[in-house]
Amino acid sequence: MDQLMDISLYIKSRPNIVLLGDDFVGKTSLIYRYINEETSGKCETLRGADLFTKELTINDILFSLKIWEWGHEGLFDTSTSSYRKINCCIFVFDVTYRKSFESLNFWRDKFFLRAEKNPNEFPVALVGTKIDLENEREVSKQEAEDWCKSFSIPYFECSAKDDINVQDVFEAMTAKLAMKCIPKEIRIRNNK
C-alpha cells in the first residue's frame, strides 16, 4: 500500500511528444492509427502543427499524451518556448522515399538547436514508415539502423496501413518518459 501511495503522487503526467519529418512520410497516418486504430480522422490544427491526445498507463503512471505533428511550416512557426516544452521527439521518414531519409539530419539539427536540449540525454527515436510497400523500398533497414547507432537511438519500422509496430513506437517512448517521471528514490524503493 505504501508503494501505491508514493507512486500516486506522480500518477498523472502530460508529456509532449513531437513527430518531425518531411511532408507525406506518414506522420499523420501513424498518429491516427495509434490513437484511433485507423489511418484517418480529425485533429486540431494550430499554426502549422497538429495536436492529438491519448491516455495510456505505463508503470502505474497515467500518461495524458499530447502528440504534436510539425511539418516544415510548424518547425519554423513554432516558438522556441514550444520546443522547450517537448519531452520526446520521434523523427519520421518514408522507407520508399530516399530524400525523406536524407533530410533527417536537417530535422534533427533544427530541433535540437531550437529546443536547447542535450541530444545525448533527450528521448528520441527514428521511425521508418510504409514498410507495407517493401517492393518500393529505397532505404534499407540496415542503413536506418546505422544512422540510429551514430546517435544511440532506437529504430522502428512501421506500417500505419497494416498496423505494424505502431503501438510499439509510442509505448516504448512513453516507457522511457515513465522512468523520468518517477523520482529515483521512489524507483529504488519500489524495486526492492
Bridge-based pairing of strands 61-70 and 16-20 is parallel
Is pLDDT of 187 > 50?
Answer: no
| C-alpha cell recorded at residue 149 | 547507432
pLDDT category at 7 given cuts 50, 70, 90 is: very low
- pLDDT confidence of residue 9: 40
Q: What pLDDT, on a 0 to 100 scale, did the predictor assign at position 72?
A: 58
Distance CA(126)–CA(129), nearest Å, equals 10
Instruction: Give the three-class secondary structure for 25.
Output: coil
CATH number of the domain that 82 lies in? Answer: 3.40.50.300
Residue 79 belongs to what domain range? 2-190
> What's the pLDDT tens digit per position in 143-159?
999 999 999 999 999 99
Contact between 153 and 172 under an 8 Å Cβ cutoff? The reply is no
- Number of separate domains in the chain: 1
Average pLDDT of the segment spanning 19-32: 91
Express each pLDDT in 80-137 by its tens digit.
667 778 899 999 999 999 999 999 999 999 899 888 889 998 999 999 999 999 999 9
Is 8's pLDDT higher than 50? no
Q: State the chain's mean pLDDT as an integer.
A: 81
pTM: 0.82
C-alpha Rg value of the chain to the nearest Å: 17
Higher-pLDDT residue of 161 and 53 is 161
